[in-house]
Amino acid sequence: MGEDRRVLVVDDDEHALEMMAEFLPTLSCEVLLAHDGVEALQLFQAERPPLVLTDLQMPLMDGLALMKAIKEFSPRTEILILTGHADLGSAVEAVRQGAFGYLLKPVDLQTLGRQVKQALERYRLVSEKEALLDELEQRVENRTQALIESQQRLRAVFDAIADSLIIVDQNLMISVANAGAAALAGSPLEALIGRMCYRVLFGREEICDGCPVLETFSNGRAVSRSVSQQMPDGRSRYLEVSSYPLAYEGKRPMEAVELIRDVTEKVHQAHHLQNVEKLASVGQLAAGLAHELGNALAIIGGSVQVLLKQAADPCREGGEYLEAIHRNVAAADRTIRGLLAFARPQAPCLEVMDLTEPLDRACLLLRGEFAKHGVQLVKQYAPDLPRMKGDVEQLQQLFLNLLLNAIQAMDDGGTITINTVFDSPEWLRVELVDTGYGIPKADLDRIFDPFFTTREGGTGLGLSIAHRHVEAHLGRLMVESEEGQGTRFTVFLPTAIPQTVSGGGGGERGRERPK
């Protein structure tokens, strides 16, 4: 687009208008003419020329009023005042209010030409400057919007990462964190910023031992560590912590990215696999022992029975020894068979039954133990408890082991309370609550592991067998305990079990186990 060189001339003197109409085109200007301020304002609003030449003294609207109206409408427009000596003060005032300049009548055409050129040049420069500023503002706005969208996209990506992701400085202060970090810390996202990572994420007052981030700052390389964290409820949480340097232009890293992944479930799965492998080894060992020792015990037991039959008086001293041998051989045989049964579990034999039946059987078998240890038994069975499908023998063994565990936790006597609850159409719940010495928090994650025991002389199989029987019924066994406050075991059992359940405790499709 070419330069705008239109000029609006306003004067009530017709001779002055004719002179301007002849002279200004010699400056390559297009001339617009008006005889008073009102006509000029209407013409200006329609055409918007860059320069206005106006007389001060005019009818209807004088030059100062016209200039004020034009400047309010278009501040960029340049205005030249034409005045006589008598109006010189008003002309100076017009310049103070924003006019480009003034010319005294009669007008010197050379001076007029110079002033017109300068006014149009200033209008052009100001217009170009404003256009450049507008373009720059638009570019800044576009770049700002793009930056905002980029930040929003990065934040969305950042928060989409399920693992904890933070950026820390050399003082281990968090500057950026994602939603995963907030979830790990159990705090709002904004509460993490400006805090030390070892405090808000790991609950420590001092820097973690073997901190991978410090090593990253030291050697400039990525570092990974596996750590365990004790939770407030006593359970262990296992984390994989990786640190990556944030280096710019080859300089030493001033910040590091810390990725924290909760691998607790992965560790538990590996631990479970180890237990399975351990059980497989025990199964092979038990099978061999059962075969070899069973044969030996059968020979010993048979020989003892023959000697007992041949003894003239089995009640004499020698006969008592034979009876003792016979009883212990039978006990050893039962132990071997029990070990074999543990190592090679059988699928539950399902039948419609009352849940209270295996409970009452277990309590009856342990009646002597309750009396011996001074334990009071309290039963609180829910009325109208529905019948269920289960293996009476396995469930009896389950409750027997849980009750024995409770009795052994109360050396000085106490109370065991059994509650049966039916508050869900799909689940029955049995709670066994004792007033014993409780379980240390550090042991809660391990009590169902095979061969784990804290009791001298214990086999570490009782709770493991109980847990396996619950899983074989597609249920869940949970424990709550606090040292010195007793223990609560909660058994969840489904009201209906498919006939295809196996001894391995596989889950039923479509049924969600209690949390």
pLDDT of residue 27: 92
Name the residue range of residue 215's domain.
Answer: 161-262
**324 near 371, Cβ under 8 Å?**
no
Q: What is the pTM of this model?
A: 0.43
Say whether 515 sits in a helix, a strand or coil. coil
Give dist(CA 389, CA 426) in Å, integer: 12
Same domain? For 111 and 206 the reply is no
pLDDT digits (tens, 9 = 90+) for 162-194: 888 899 999 999 998 998 888 888 889 888 999
% of residues, the chain, pLDDT over 90 = 32
pLDDT at 449 over 60: yes
Amino acid at 363: C
Are both 294 and 321 inside the same structural domain?
A: yes
- For range 371-393, the mean pLDDT: 90
Co-location of 380 and 277 in the same domain: no
Query: Is residue 151 situated within a structural domain?
Result: no
The string of pLDDT tens digits covering residues 122-158 is: 999 998 998 899 999 999 999 989 888 888 888 788 7
CATH code, domain with 114:
3.40.50.2300
The answer to whether 508 touches 494, Cβ cutoff 8 Å, is yes
- Among 132, 150, 179, give the residue marking a domain's end: 132
Please tell me the predicted confidence (pLDDT) of residue 511. Answer: 46
Q: Are residues 92 and 174 in the same domain?
A: no
In a domain, 32, yes or no: yes
Say which range, 23-27, 287-291, 424-428, has the weakest mean pLDDT. 287-291
Domain end residue (candidates: 338, 368, 394): 338
Specify if 470 maps to a domain: yes
Do 92 and 126 share a structural domain?
yes
Separation between Cα atoms, residue 311 and residue 319, nearest integer Å: 7
Residue among 187, 326, 272 at smallest CA distance from 505: 272
pLDDT of residue 85: 64
H or E element that contains 309: helix 264-310
Query: Helical H runs in 344-374?
Result: 356-365, 367-372
- Diameter over CA atoms, the chain: 166
Tokens of 61: 């609207």
- Give the residue with greater pLDDT, 113 vs 227: 113
Cα separation, 207 vs 199, whole angstroms: 8
Report pLDDT for 233.
Answer: 62
Whether 428 and 300 share a structural domain: no
Helix (H, G, I), strand (E, B) or coil at 494: strand
CA atoms within 13 A on the CB side of 101: 13
- Evaluate whether residue 286 is within a structural domain: yes
Same domain, 370 and 448: yes
pLDDT on residue 317: 53
What pLDDT, on a 0 to 100 scale, did the predictor assign at position 448? 79
Residue 297 in any domain: the answer is yes
Per-residue confidence (pLDDT) for residue 44, from 0 to 100? 94
326 and 355 in contact (C-beta within 8 Å)?
Answer: no
Instruction: Report how many domains make up the chain.
Output: 4
Positive or negative: CA dihedral 103, 104, 105, 109: negative
**Structural domain includes residue 154:** no
On whether both 371 and 467 belong to a single domain, the answer is yes
Same domain? 222 vs 122: no
Express each pLDDT in 284-299 by its tens digit.
666 666 656 766 777 7
The residue among 202, 237, 262 that closes a domain is: 262
pLDDT band for 53, please (50, 70, 90 cuts): very high
Give yes or no: residues 322 and 377 share one domain: no
